């Protein structure tokens, strides 16, 4: 479409992962299996937490929201990825692209908040065990989760609205397998100052800010653990928190590097995008279940429970 002497882009083209039909077929099967596994393990985690009364605690309440978010996050990316691997046309409309960008930022922003909330929960449980039940009551937990979702939603909308106001006059090739903020911003013909300032502010305040909260929480937890004379007490604290530390490291490491470095469409950027949008949602429930005795015990109880037949 032409407006004056400027050609306006009406759709983008996703570069994808490969143009080789044989490789595309293999990748389609691999990502389909991964996607089904993501949905299965995260929904299973939700089911276990929901049905087992032993897991009705603040920590698992937050974990249930993280599992739901991981399933949602992958559903924003993978279905379109599968479609592009299956179809020859890899186009995506501006509305679809901006919607995907908004949901990606929303999911990432919400997850950073949830991870910091989970770190704060562990801080209260380890450093202030006597007041833990009062401090992390049901009302507070619901408020923290609600604030996490609200912040993620607001962040996603703000950054996407500013990006949508840019002029896109060509080229329209997105050097990625999905619509993400950095590669799409590269295609803008107008001055991207507001969009760049917005996403950098988001990364500093929301990304690095929540990371500092996580770091402070675990610094206090480590100091408290080292002050305990009992080796079994220290091991219990570290085993409880190790799963969360591993999840935080994977998510923040790939996400911050992806959004804090200039976009170039390199293979490394593709790997990082795949890491936090596809691999992390699969690893999170596995990490929490394999390294958490309470979750494994609850899963065994659920599987051992005999189904009741009603007539």
- Mean pLDDT (the chain, rounded): 84
Does some domain include residue 202?
yes
Domain assignment present for residue 307? The answer is no
Confirm whether 130 is domain-assigned: yes
Low-confidence ranges of the chain (pLDDT < 70): 1-7, 233, 240, 255-268, 290-291, 306-311
Residue 239 forms part of a structural domain: yes
Q: What is the pLDDT of residue 138?
A: 92
**80 vs 292: CA distance, rounded Å:** 33
The C-alpha R_g of the chain, in whole angstroms, comes to 22
CB 184 within 8 A of CB 163: yes
The whole-number pLDDT of residue 1 equals: 46
Residue 2 inside a domain? The answer is no
Pair 187, 12: CB distance under 8 Å: yes
Q: What is the largest CA-CA distance in the chain?
A: 76
Edge-to-edge strand list for the sheet holding 173-174? 91-93, 11-14, 173-174
Predicted pLDDT at 58: 92
Q: What confidence score (pLDDT) does residue 91 get?
A: 87
What pLDDT does 76 receive? 92
Query: Does residue 280 sit within a domain?
Result: yes
- Check residue 152 and give its pLDDT: 94
Inside any domain, residue 305 = no
Please count the structural domains in the chain: 1
User: What's the burial of 184, exposed, middle or buried (CB within 10 Å: 0-12/13-18/19+)?
Assistant: buried
Question: Residue 243's CB: how many other CB atoms inside 10 A?
Answer: 20
Query: 154 φ, ψ to 5°?
Result: -65, -40
Q: Which residues pair with residue 11 across a beta bridge?
A: 93
The answer to whether 105 and 156 have CB atoms below 8 angstroms apart is yes
In a domain, 152, yes or no: yes
Task: Give the domain CATH number at 248.
Answer: 1.20.1070.10
How far is Cα 184 from Cα 64, in angstroms, rounded to an integer?
32
Which residue range forms the structural domain that includes residue 226?
A: 12-292
Query: What's the pTM?
Result: 0.86
Encoded tokens for 292: 């958490």
């Amino acid at each position: 479409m032409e407006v004056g002497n400027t050609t306006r882009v009406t759709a983008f083209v996703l570069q994808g992962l490969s143009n080789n039909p044989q490789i595309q077929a293999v990748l389609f099967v691999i990502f389909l299996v991964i996607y089904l596994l993501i949905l299965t393990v995260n929904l299973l985690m939700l089911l276990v937490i929901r049905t087992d009364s032993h897991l009705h605690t603040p920590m698992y309440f937050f974990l249930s929201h993280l599992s739901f978010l991981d399933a949602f996050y992958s559903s924003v990316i993978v279905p379109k990825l599968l479609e592009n691997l299956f179809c020859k046309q890899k186009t995506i409309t501006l509305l679809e692209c901006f919607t995907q960008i908004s949901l990606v930022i929303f999911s990432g922003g919400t997850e950073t908040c949830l991870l910091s909330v989970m770190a704060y929960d562990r801080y209260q449980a380890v450093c202030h065990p006597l007041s833990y039940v009062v401090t992390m009551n049901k009302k507070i937990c619901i408020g923290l989760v609600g604030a996490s979702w609200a912040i993620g939603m607001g962040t996603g909308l703000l950054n996407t609205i500013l990006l949508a106001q840019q002029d896109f006059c060509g080229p329209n090739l997105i050097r990625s397998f999905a619509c993400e903020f950095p590669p799409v911003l590269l295609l803008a013909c107008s001055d991207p100052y507001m969009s760049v300032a917005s996403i950098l502010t988001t990364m500093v305040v929301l990304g690095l800010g929540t990371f500092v909260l996580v770091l402070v929480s675990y610094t206090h937890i480590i100091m408290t653990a080292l002050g305990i004379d009992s080796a079994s007490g220290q091991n219990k604290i570290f085993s409880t928190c190790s799963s969360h530390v591993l999840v935080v490291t994977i998510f923040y490491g790939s996400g911050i590097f992806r959004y804090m470095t200039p976009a170039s469409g390199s293979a490394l950027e593709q790997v990082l995008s795949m890491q936090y949008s596809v691999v992390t949602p699969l690893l999170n429930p596995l990490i929490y279940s394999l390294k958490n005795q309470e979750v494994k015990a609850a899963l065994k109880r659920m599987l051992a429970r005999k189904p009741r037949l009603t007539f």
